[in-house]
Amino acid sequence: MVLQDRAKATRGAIVVGAAAVFEEHGYGSASLTQVSEAAGVTKGALYFHFQSKEDLARAVIEEQHRIVVAESESILAGDWPGLTAMILLCRAFGLQLVHEPVVRAGIRLTFEATAFGPPVRGPYEDWIAVMEQLTERAKAELQVRPSIDAGTFARYLVASFTGVQMVSGVLTDRADVMQRIEEMWEIVLPGIMHDDFNEDPHALSGLVSTGSLSPTGIRTPLAP
């Protein structure tokens, strides 16, 4: 058991070290020597867990997806209305991009995946599926117009978020990503909100930066 725990800790350290290297240098310029130094392990230990740089890149992408899914599941378990849940999911993902190096590295690697294999589709397909389900829920809750096609909107929303965070990364190293996500929702909400839904679009988009409405309707702060 002690050896297993030690092996897991070593593997985890390697993934974190690899994420730091991939985030800074990208897949093409990263080296296994840089990874072993960043992780504080020998090359022998690195090769014990990972046979190649491709294996490392895939492990970082998998860990990034695991982190995002875990946070998403905690939000989805909160019984939020559909539209609120979508906004909170975008907020959570944005905060992870700010605070989680593994998430930033994983996102970069998904765009560079053709350098070491086929395009990475799974995380995007999963995210689109969740947003489609939440859009259907929001329609049933009379938050979103019945004319909105859930699949079309889900694909558009994921593409919009991806573009917003990418441009923020290029221009400000994501220093303004939360503001840009909020602006995205400010533009989107008036076009999709149901006529009988009386919530202020500006207040809803403000959930990205200021907090959340609890399932009982009481505004409570969300930890950054």
Q: Is 138 in contact with 199 (CB distance < 8 Å)?
A: no
Residue 144 backbone dihedrals phi, psi, to 5 degrees: -120, 140
User: Is 196 strand, coil or helix?
Assistant: coil
Residue 211 backbone dihedrals phi, psi, to 5 degrees: 145, -155
pLDDT band, very low/low/confident/very high, at 217 (cuts 50, 70, 90): very low
pLDDT band, very low/low/confident/very high, at 1 (cuts 50, 70, 90): low
H-run or E-run covering 170:
helix 150-172
Cβ-in-10-Å burial (0-12, 13-18, 19+) of 117 comes to: exposed
What's the confidence (pLDDT) of residue 218?
33
Q: What is the pTM of this model?
A: 0.85
pLDDT tens-place string over residues 17-37: 999 999 999 999 999 999 999
pLDDT tens-place string over residues 79-136: 899 999 999 999 999 999 999 999 999 999 998 888 777 778 888 999 999 999 999 9
Q: Identify the CATH class of 61-220.
A: mainly alpha
What percent of the chain shows pLDDT beyond 70?
92
What's the confidence (pLDDT) of residue 3?
55
What's the confidence (pLDDT) of residue 22?
95
Ranked by mean pLDDT, the top range of 117-126, 160-169, 205-214 is 160-169
Q: What is the DSSP string of 107-147?
A: HHHHHSGGGTSS---HHHHHHHHHHHHHHHHHHHTTSB-TT
Place of tokens 């992408």: 61
Q: Rg (Cα) of the chain, in Å, rounded?
A: 19
Q: Is 164 in contact with 97 (CB distance < 8 Å)?
A: no
What's the confidence (pLDDT) of residue 2?
53
pLDDT tens-place string over residues 33-64: 999 999 999 999 999 999 999 999 999 999 99
153's CB contacts (< 8 A; 6+ apart) are: 131, 132, 135, 144, 192
Average pLDDT on 199-219 reads 71
